[in-house]
Structure 1
Amino acid sequence: MPVLITGASGSQEQAEAVKEYDVLPFTLDLRDEKSVTKNIVDAQIFVVYFLVDAVNCDMQIPLIKALGDVKKQTGREVHFLHTTGAKMFSEHAGMPTDRRLVDTDPALYDLQKSSKSPHELFTKAANTNITVIETAEKYGVRSYIFVPCIVYGEGKGFGNKISIQTVAVVTAAKGSGTVYDVNPEDRTWPVCHIDDNTKLYVKLLKSILSGENSEYGKDGYYLASSGSMAWYDIYAAMAKALAKHAVISSPDVERADDAALDKMAQALGCPKDMVAVQLGGKCTFEAKRAYSLGWRPDHAPEHIVEVADAEVELILNHIGMTTGKIAKR
């Protein structure tokens, strides 16, 4: 069964790199609906893993429609996986944080559809999840919403080797000279080692290809997480590592005041009110559905602080040691 995994590539160099993994490069302009439909149908693609854009939905819709055409021609089930993010299930997106929010909650779709985010970006991203589910249902496609969280550890592929939130902590610390706590007390976030995150992608794909997975659509949310950690514990572990590497002078974590937020915003290249969005906040989302597939994480949530030194060293090797700005990757 042919599977398409979309990525933000396009160069000949990237196409050659893909071949090293015994994968056939498939060049496709995702914004050209006619081309998408023809190529997907001609290649008889039955599964699409969409990893390109968590915010917008303009590229997903043509792919879903094309899968619907494949199903009409073959009579076989077709599948579309959309990669979103834990922020879309957090206080940043207006989701409830006063209780556990498990990914098997039958009300999750309705909660996300009715959520009101204080940030337009997350309203748009949450709506994209809804659009994917509803469009897939309309065209007879089975949809899956895959949710990465704080991912740490070194990527093993040919592309990006580092993640997002831990990079933001390092970048902000380099620019401000200190690791600051931007959160009220009790702020936690789900975490996952990159290997466990990847393992769930693979486990889900195997369940799709074997025809054993019956949970999709409004019941198709899959969080990849071994559990949650307090932001402060993550800050503290990374502060010690940053001080060890002489990036900051003190391993102490300080409360962020207005002046600190200004410096962090400058380092991160974002408005001041978006600093906490990049490296803080509360998310009570918990993984449950993945376990029904037989997925088990190899790393406990506490592992992220145990390997903070290695994480910091990895990040410093990729973002450049002098400017505090994230290098292009």
Structure 2
Amino acid sequence: MTHSKILVTGAAGYVGGSVLSYLKTLESSSIDAGSVIGAVRSEEQVDALTAARFNVQQVNLSDEQAVAELVLRNEIDVVVHCASGLDRDLVVNLIHALGKRREASGKATYFIHTSGGSAFSEVGGWSNGPTSDTDQIFDLEKALADSMPLRKVDVAVTEEAKSAGVTSYIVVPPMVYGRGLGLWNKLSVCMPLTVRASLSRRAVYTFPQDSVMPAVHVSDLMALYARLLEKIVQNDAPAGGENGYYFAVAHKIHWWPTLDRMAAALHSRGLVQQRSTQMWPNDEEAAEAYGLPGLFVQMIFNSRTEIRSGKAGALGWEPTWTQEDQFLQIIDDEVRDVLELDTGKGSVLNNVNKQLK
């Protein structure tokens, strides 16, 4: 796909902004940085990113006509969707627009969807045990779609794309950490939420179960997106659709040691009263502190998610952050970034609350 145009949604967010920045600075790549466009929500974001020499456009992704006009006007062939894994309408609008682009140009079009590891958590209703992206994930998700919004949207991606003649992929990031590469939002989800909750209670709290989470550093996640995009633009696109899942798992982490390091980092700054962690008195208080519905708190912080990457290596993906110790050694940096950069307006809160209304 010579001279393919790529649209990155959520380009002011943590993942989307990192994708936009990573592709712009990627060296020795078949991806033309000048052909990458970011989609953002506000005029303020347009001004800030344009001043930093990013090609961005403001669009309401809920407006089907506006999305179609954006895709057709800019001759977009590939969409990397990072704006929300919970909103089916956005997915449908983007895929339908790519279908129109395919009909107009006669070229293949591609939709890369960003989902989330919580779709495969025990608390989230995943009853299939340890799972690899080499398994029949689509069939497994479809059987359980109605019990979890992330799964329902994943299924919609595959079905809508097939109907529109668009090749789809679903990238599943687990817990992502590290300072984001984008200009607007450099903070992930899990660490800022936990630091916020700890500051509000002047203590770091944990649950009775030591959760084990799959994880990936943001730079390694970006490398996976880039490898998939490179395959597409080199006319070597891997199988998509029902076989298009990629679990971006580089290693596992244990939550108790993570919180121990966080407590030490916050205590050294005088921000919590004790250097050691405490146990949440009840689930309701934890939900209040995190500012999320109780089910989401349990899925993210008090559940086992056992997924592993089996296909990304075939793309040439070689993560560099592959050990839990590497993660634990930068917990103080993670805390510092939250204290310096947090606005208290994480997109995860907005997306979850929107879907619950």
Whole-Å separation in 2 of the counterparts to 1:13 and 1:116: 36
Q: Which amino acid aligns with 2:199?
A: K
SS of equivalent to 2:292: coil
Q: Quick one: which of 151, 155, 172 aligns to 2:180? A: 155
Counterpart in 2 of 1:323? none
Cα distance, 1:290 vs structure 2: 1.5
Counterpart in 1 of 2:263? 239
Q: Which amino acid aligns with 2:338?
A: I
Give the structure-2-normalised TM-score: 0.81
Whole-Å separation in 1 of the counterparts to 2:75 and 2:145: 39
Q: For residues 215 and 240 of structure 1, do their structure 2 counterparts lie closer, same or farther at Cα, with a shift above 3 Å needed? A: farther
Q: Quick one: which of 52, 72, 75 aligns to 1:44? A: 75
Question: Aligned pairs, how many?
Answer: 315
Q: Quick one: which of 277, 287, 291 aligns to 2:299? A: 277
Q: Quick one: which of 274, 283, 308 aligns to 2:331? A: 308
Cα distance, 1:328 vs structure 2: 6.3
Counterpart in 1 of 2:25? none
Cα distance, 1:89 vs structure 2: 1.6
Counterpart in 2 of 1:86? 117
Q: Does 1:113 align with 2:142?
A: yes
The answer as to whether partners of 1:168 and 1:278 remain within 8 angstroms in 2 is no
Q: Quick one: which of 5, 8, 28 aligns to 1:5? A: 8
The answer as to whether partners of 1:40 and 1:66 remain within 8 angstroms in 2 is yes
% identity of equivalent residues: 29
Q: For residues 327 and 135 of structure 1, do their structure 2 counterparts lie closer, same or farther at Cα, with a shift above 3 Å needed? A: closer
**Which runs of 5 or more structure 1 residues have no equivalent in the other structure?**
321-325
Q: Which amino acid aligns with 2:333?
A: A
Q: Does 1:288 align with 2:317?
A: no
Q: For residues 175 and 216 of structure 1, do their structure 2 counterparts lie closer, same or farther at Cα, with a shift above 3 Å needed? A: same
The answer as to whether partners of 1:203 and 1:295 remain within 8 angstroms in 2 is yes
The answer as to whether partners of 2:287 and 2:293 remain within 8 angstroms in 1 is yes
Cα distance, 1:12 vs structure 2: 3.4
**Which runs of 5 or more structure 2 residues have no equivalent in the other structure?**
13-39, 348-357
Q: Quick one: which of 21, 45, 60 aligns to 1:14? A: 45
Q: Which amino acid aligns with 2:244?
A: G
Give the structure-1-normalised TM-score: 0.88
The answer as to whether partners of 1:94 and 1:116 remain within 8 angstroms in 2 is no
Q: Does 1:146 align with 2:198?
A: no
Q: Which amino acid aligns with 2:149?
A: K
Q: Quick one: which of 61, 64, 67 aligns to 1:30? A: 61
Counterpart in 1 of 2:228? 204
Whole-Å separation in 2 of the counterparts to 1:269 and 1:47: 35
Q: For residues 192 and 206 of structure 1, do their structure 2 counterparts lie closer, same or farther at Cα, with a shift above 3 Å needed? A: same
Counterpart in 2 of 1:103? 133
SS of equivalent to 2:312: helix
Cα distance, 1:272 vs structure 2: 4.6
Cα distance, 1:271 vs structure 2: 4.3
SS of equivalent to 2:271: coil
Q: Which amino acid aligns with 1:112?
A: E
Q: Does 1:297 align with 2:344?
A: no
